[in-house]
Amino acid sequence: MLVDGKEYRSIQLKPGEREVVRIIDQTFLPHEFRLVDLVTLEDFCRAISTMQVRGAGLIGATAAFGMVSAARQAPRQSFEADIADAAAQLCATRPTAANLAWAVSQVQTAIDTADGIDNKIEAAFEAAQAVLEGDAETSRRIGLHGLEIIRALAARKASGPLNILTHCNAGCLAFVDHGTATAPIYAAQAAGIDLHVWVDETRPRNQGAALTAWELAAQGVPHDLIVDNAGGHLMQHGLVDMVIVGADRVTRRGDVANKIGTYLKALAAHDNGIPFFVALPCSTFDFSMDDGLAEIPIEERDPHELSHVVGRLPSGELGEVLICPQQTSARNYGFDVTPARLITKLICEHGVCDAEPNSIATLLMKGA
Amino acid sequence: MLVDGKEYRSIQLKPGEREVVRIIDQTFLPHEFRLVDLVTLEDFCRAISTMQVRGAGLIGATAAFGMVSAARQAPRQSFEADIADAAAQLCATRPTAANLAWAVSQVQTAIDTADGIDNKIEAAFEAAQAVLEGDAETSRRIGLHGLEIIRALAARKASGPLNILTHCNAGCLAFVDHGTATAPIYAAQAAGIDLHVWVDETRPRNQGAALTAWELAAQGVPHDLIVDNAGGHLMQHGLVDMVIVGADRVTRRGDVANKIGTYLKALAAHDNGIPFFVALPCSTFDFSMDDGLAEIPIEERDPHELSHVVGRLPSGELGEVLICPQQTSARNYGFDVTPARLITKLICEHGVCDAEPNSIATLLMKGA
C-alpha cells in the first residue's frame, strides 16, 4: 500500500533487518501514521491483543513472526517448552481468530520438523515468511479475479466513474497487503479504470471512517464517507454500481457472516438490481456449517463500543464522547449473516463462483 | 411526558403564568435536563433556530407562541407591521419546516380577524393554545389507533414482551406531547402491555441515542440502544415483532420520506415478514406528489455532522470528536424514501389505512 507515495505493507521486515518486524500501529489511525517495531514475544502479543494489528490475515502473519521471535529468544535447554508456551500465549491474544491459530501451527510444524536449534530458528523464519507472502499473494489474486468483474461492469457504463460501495475494512490494513474487498479496487485503479468508492462509516467501531477512508486516501482512490444508513438511498438513485465486502465466515451453501449491517446493504442491492460481491480467501470457508443463520454464532461485544465514540478532539488528542444517557442499556452485535440468495458472486484467490454448494465445491477443488 | 416522575410537555406555559412559555432545551439532552423560559420574540426565534426545540409539531407550537409574544410587544402605532415582521422572522428560522409556516398563519389569521389590539392579543393567545393543544390531541389519537395494532400483535405472542424497533426520534420531544411513532408505545404502556423497544442510534445526528433513549428512560419504557446496522440481524432472529417510525412527508400513493436509513429497516422487515408501520399526523401528507422516489427532494446536509460526533466528554462537558481523516470528503443525505409497497399500515389521528391512494383518500375524507 502507498503512504505519502512510499510503499508499505501492514506488516513487513524492517528494511535490511531479519530480526525486527515493522507494523503500522492501527490504534492511532486515521489521525496519526505511526510505525512500531516488534522484536520480543511480548511485543508481538501486545500488538495483537491491543489491536495495533487487526484483521484475519494480518493477525496471522504477526503471530507467525511472534513464533520466530520466541524461537530466537528461547534458551536451548528449554526450547521445546518455551515454543509451546509462546504458541499458547499468541493463540490466547485473540481467541476467536481462526487464522491466528493456523499461522501459529504452520510455524510450530516447521520448528518440529527441522533438526537442531539453528535449523529450527531458520525453519521458523521461512515458515513465517511463507505465511506473510502467502497472504499477500492470496489478496493479489483476489484482486485480479475481481478486476475482471469491475472491468465488465465499467464497460457497460455510459459515463462517469464506476461507483463501488463497501462496508467495514477488508482492506490492506486487515491483511498483509491489497486486502480482500479492496484488492479488486486497487487492481482496477492500477488498470486505469475510473472508480469512486462509497465508504460506509461502519458503526460501532467505525472501521470504514477510520481505516478504509484512510487507506483509500493513501492510495489515491476517489471516495466519499457516508453513514451506514445512506447506502439504500444511494442505490435507489442509481449512485451505486456494485457492492463489495469481505467475510468473516462463509458456510458451504454460501451464507456469509460479515460485519453487522452487511445484510442490510445486501437487501438494498437486491431490491435495486445491483450486484453484490463478497471477496474472501478460501480459508474463510467453514464446511462444518451449512445454514449460516442457524449455525454461525454471532459475537456480542462490549456495549461501551456503541455508547462511546472514539476520535480526535479539537486539541489534537484522542478521546471519546458518550452519545446516550449514562444509564442506557445497549446491545452490541458484531456480525450478521447475509443469506446466499442475496449474493451475486464470491471472489476467491482461485476464481469466482456462485454462492451455492456445487459452485463453491468446484472452485475449491480447482484450487486444491 | 414524565421526567423524574413529574409531568412535562416539550412546550407548555410556565405554571400559573400566561406570558411565559417553558421548553425543554434539547441541545443539552440527553446529558442535562434544562428548562428554558421564552418571553420575547427573540427568545422564540433563537429557540427554533438553535434547535433548542426541533420536530415538526414542536416547532409549530413554539412559533405560534412567538407570534403571541410579538403581539404583546408590538407598539399600538406599528402593530400590523410588527406582526408581519415577526411572522417573517419566525418563518425564516427553519425555512423548510412546513408546519412552522402553517402555525404562524393560524395566529396571523386570528389577529387579522379580531377587532382592537387587546382582542387581537387575546385571539393570538387562543390561536396559539389551539395549535399546541391540537398537536397534543393529534398525537394522543395516533397513540390510541396504534394501541389497537399493538394489542393485536401482543395477543398473538406466546411469551415475553412485544419487541418494537424504532428509528430516529418521532417522540414526545418532536411534538408537544406523546409523539407520533412513540404515541402507540406510550398508550400501550399505559394499557399495561408488556413492551420492549429497540432504539436505532440514527446516525449521523444520533437522535435515537440522544433523544429517544432519553425519553423512553424518562417514561420507564424498557429499551436497548443498538447501532443502525443491527436491526436486520435482530429481525432475522425473531427479536423484532413490529417496526414503527414517523414521517417527514408522505405522497398520495403512500411513499414515505423519513430519516435516512428508514428504507433499510423497511427492507429487512419485509424480508422477515415483520409488520412495518408509519405514524403521522395527516398534515404530513403531500398530495402534490405521487412517486416519492422521483419527486421528494432529499436534503443534503453539512458533512461535519457525519465526520464529527457530539457527546459528553469524560470531564462532563459536551464536546466533539473527529472520526475520519481530516481531509475526508463525506456526503450527508438527511432522508430516504420508503416505497409504499414495504409499508404495512399508516397510522394517523383519524385512523389506520393502507399505504395506497384510495385507502389514504378514504381515511382523510372520514377525518375532514
pLDDT tens digit string along A320-351? Answer: 999 999 999 999 999 999 999 999 999 999 99
Please tell me the distance in Å from B108's CA to the nearest CA on chain A: 39
Average pLDDT of the residues in B43-72: 96
Instruction: Provide the percentage of residues in chain B whose pLDDT is more than 70.
Output: 100
Find, in chain B, the residue whose alpha carbon is nearest to that of A309.
B309
Q: Grid coordinates representing A130?
A: 511463507
The answer for residues whose C-beta is within 8 angstroms of residue A208's C-beta and 6 or more apart is A166, A167, A168, A169, A199, A200, A201, A202, A225
The B residues from 128 to 187 touching A (CB cutoff 8 Å) are none
Task: Give residue A167's pLDDT.
Answer: 98
Task: Give residue B1's pLDDT.
Answer: 86
Q: Is A215 on the interface with B (CB under 8 A)?
A: no
Task: Quote ipTM for the complex.
Answer: 0.95
pLDDT tens digit string along A85-117? Answer: 999 999 999 877 778 999 999 999 999 999 999
Task: Give residue B97's pLDDT.
Answer: 73
Please tell me the distance in Å from A347's CA to the nearest CA on chain B: 24
Task: Give residue A165's pLDDT.
Answer: 98
Closest by CA to A124, choosing from A110, A113, A103, A105, is: A110
Q: What does residue A73 show for φ and ψ, rounded to 5 degrees?
A: -75, -25
Average pLDDT of the residues in B328-356: 97
Closest by CA to B62, choosing from B15, B111, B110, B9, is: B9
Q: What is the pTM of this model?
A: 0.95
Interface contact B30-A324, CB threshold 8 A: yes
Cβ-contact A24, A173 below 8 angstroms = yes
Residues of chain A neighbouring B165 (CB-CB closer than 8 A): none
Omega within 30 of 0 (cis) for the link into A357: no
Cα–Cα distance measured from residue B331 to residue A338, given in angstroms and rounded to the nearest whole number: 26
Cα–Cα distance measured from residue A292 to residue A344, given in angstroms and rounded to the nearest whole number: 17
Q: Is A313 on the interface with B (CB under 8 A)?
A: yes
Please tell me the distance in Å from B283's CA to the nearest CA on chain A: 24
Task: Give residue A2's pLDDT.
Answer: 87
Cα–Cα distance measured from residue A364 to residue A284, given in angstroms and rounded to the nearest whole number: 12
Average pLDDT of the residues in A261-276: 98
Secondary structure letter of residue A212 according to DSSP: I
Cα angle A225-A230-A234, degrees, rounded to a multiple of 5? 95
Closest by CA to A324, choosing from A333, A334, A332, A316, is: A332
Distances (CA, A) of A283 to A54, A280, A286, B343, B359: 17, 8, 8, 41, 54
Cα–Cα distance measured from residue B209 to residue B202, given in angstroms and rounded to the nearest whole number: 7
From the list A30, A229, A263, which residue is nearest B228 (CB)?
Answer: A229
pLDDT tens digit string along B63-104? Answer: 999 999 999 999 999 999 999 999 999 999 987 777 899 999
Cα–Cα distance measured from residue B171 to residue B185, given in angstroms and rounded to the nearest whole number: 10
From the list B224, B310, B325, which residue is nearest A217 (CB)?
Answer: B325
Instruction: Provide the percentage of residues in chain A whose pLDDT is more than 90.
Output: 95
pLDDT score of A37 more than 90 = yes
pLDDT tens digit string along A172-213? Answer: 999 999 999 999 999 999 999 999 999 999 999 999 999 999
Closest by CA to A320, choosing from A328, A311, A329, is: A311
Task: Give residue B173's pLDDT.
Answer: 96
Q: Is A332 on the interface with B (CB under 8 A)?
A: yes
Cβ-contact A119, A79 below 8 angstroms = no
